[in-house]
Amino acid sequence: MPKFDVSKSDLERLIGKEFSVEEWEDLVLYAKCELDDVWEENGKVYFKLDSKDTNRPDLWSAEGVARQIRFALGMQRGLPKYKVEKSDVVVYVDEKLRNVRPYGVYAIVEGLKFDEDSLSQLIQLQEKVALTLGRRRREVAIGVFDFDKVRPPIYYRAAEKDERFVPLGFTEELTLEEILDKHEKGREYGHLIRDKPYYPLLVDSEGNVLSMPPIINSEYTGRVTEKTKNVFIDVTGWDLRKIMLALNVMVTALAERGGKIKSVKVVYKDFEIETPDLTPREFEVDLSYIRKLSGLDLKDEEIKDLLEKMMYSVEIESEKAKVKYPAFRDDIMHARDILEDVLIAYGYNNIEPEEPKLAVQGRGDPFKDFEDAIRDLMVGFGLQEIMTFNLTNKEVQFTKMNIPEEDIVEIANPISQKWSALRKWLLPSLMEFLSNNTHEEYPQRIFEVGLATLIDESRETKTVSEPKLAVALAGTGYTFTNAKEILDSLMRHLGIEYEIEEIEHRSFIPGRVGKILINGKDVGIIGEIHPQVLENWNIEVPVVAFELFLRPLYRS
């Protein structure tokens, strides 16, 4: 979770009211933070705040925390409004950056009065957003420049690797390639662009380099000090929506300091946009849903009041709340997100606990007992249980299994491409396990009882997780018959009759693969793994396997 330092006096200046340290412990809860530490330095009190929400970058600075607290205390209400004036500044984006770092969005903030605290918050917010939301600058990188030194129009262009400029903190010019090797930030983030045919540069009309996204600013424009009055902000990345969010967070934080926001026209080959776009987002929620899940008997006006304290504008009509929320938020995806804000404004500590009205006796889920029985059977058949991650990626699920890609449940903003999706079937996980244990003695007889996540448009979440059993036998001499013997024994113990119908499947050897049928219903697959799949996984011995859904086998 993001942690950041703020000074108590700076927070109170932004709010317009002073509080004791004890009061602050409760106040920061409105901003989904906890007071992690308190200390005094040079006569000033500082807090270390621990944000509990990685989807709210607007709450990762003193400006955002103070804004949320002002609204929660009723000092302001409804939707915060920020005026955006048009400027005549234009940024032209080079088409050659399409496969390098394709998107950039920009803004100007004028009339700022920086001091030690505000500069510290600007730097912290810039880094926290790029680190967390930006996945260590891969998805979002932010540059802030002294705009008075910039000569528009500005060009975000592809540069040859031997072009030169003075990077921030240096006194001599370096080539772009040298920056990746010699500069601290180049060594840290150079992997993001090192293998690209060009490197991105942001330059003005006089050829002055502003920055080399996502690595480092230039010494000429990239040093913001207490003397800086006007700043130019650039945000680059791969997802236009995500970098727009980051830009909105940055400019509204500076607006809380009295800055005046001005937009910039961004010209791409195929389209133009004006940034930032602070148009409020909209959502609708049933009031009955809020009452039911909160357990609170809230009147319509009470719900409206609570939402206005969380920076929503609210219109209530036909038992629904139509809300608008600020463009620096992108975390409202479900009615539960609205409900959470209602509860934060109400105060979790103000909710009175109630004794359950029904006396119930807890018991284990019978299906879990069934899964345990399956595990016992597999161990009894001489197999070793493994437990692998539900998270995987398309290469493991499809490419290495020699089959075309299909739609699976993917993570919108994965921390690592290795863990970017939920698995659709278990056998790839078993193959990966065998691949990681080729140094161990054969035969290797393994199984797993675990979940596979499938797309199901009929459900609220559009997904369903199904329990499955997968078995793999690796070693010289293993054939289809060996896998079928285990399947036969399993079905016999469960008292289930089944059939195998020959099919074609590119993960298995033709003629040695079949689907498993129970009462004519397809419940699984069995066969000998194809040599190409074995080669993909660097496995040098035959592997036979089967996988099937467990619910069709369950009898309560």
Out of 147-151, 430-434, 552-556, least confident range:
552-556
pLDDT tens profile 347-373: 888 888 887 777 777 788 899 999 999
Question: 204-236: per-residue pLDDT in tens?
Answer: 999 999 999 999 999 988 789 999 999 999 999
Backbone angles phi, psi at 176, to 5 degrees: -60, -35
59-112 pLDDT, tens digit each:
999 999 999 999 999 999 999 999 999 999 999 999 999 999 999 999 999 999
Cα distance between residue 325 and residue 243, in whole Å: 18
Smallest CA-to-CA distance from 306 within 81, 80, 78 is with: 78
First-to-final CA distance of the chain: 43
Q: Phi and psi at residue 259, in whole multiples of 5°?
A: -75, 150
Mapped to the 3 state alphabet, what secondary structure does 107-157 carry? EEEECCCCCHHHHHHHHHHHHHHHHHHCCCCCCEEEEEEEHHHCCCCEEEE
CA distances to 150, 178, 351, 476 from 220, rounded to whole Å, are 9, 18, 55, 67
Separation between Cα atoms, residue 499 and residue 501, nearest integer Å: 7
The pLDDT tens digits of the residues spanning 182-196 come to: 999 999 999 999 999
SS3 string of 402-453?
Answer: CCCCCCCCECCCCCCHHHCEECCCCHHHHHHHHHCCCCCCCCEEEEEEEEEE
pLDDT at residue 556, as a whole number: 59
pLDDT at 541 (0 to 100): 95
Is residue 409 scored above 80 in pLDDT? yes
Q: What's the whole-number mean pLDDT along residues 249-274? A: 96
- Indicate the annotated binding residues for Mg(2+): 331, 337, 340-341
The pLDDT of 150-165, averaged and rounded, is 94
What does the pLDDT read at residue 425?
Answer: 95
The encoded tokens of residue 338 equal 């609205």
Residue 278 structure tokens: 């602070």
Q: Which residues are annotated as a binding site?
A: 331, 337, 340-341
Amino acid 353: pLDDT: 84
Report the mean per-residue pLDDT for the chain: 93
CB 107 within 8 Å of CB 233: yes
Check residue 220 and give its pLDDT. Answer: 86
Give tens-digit pLDDT for 17-60. 999 999 999 999 999 999 999 999 988 999 999 998 888 999 99
pTM: 0.74
437-483: per-residue pLDDT in tens?
999 999 999 999 999 999 988 888 889 999 999 999 999 999 999 99
8 Å CB contact between 337 and 289: no
pLDDT at 244 over 90: yes
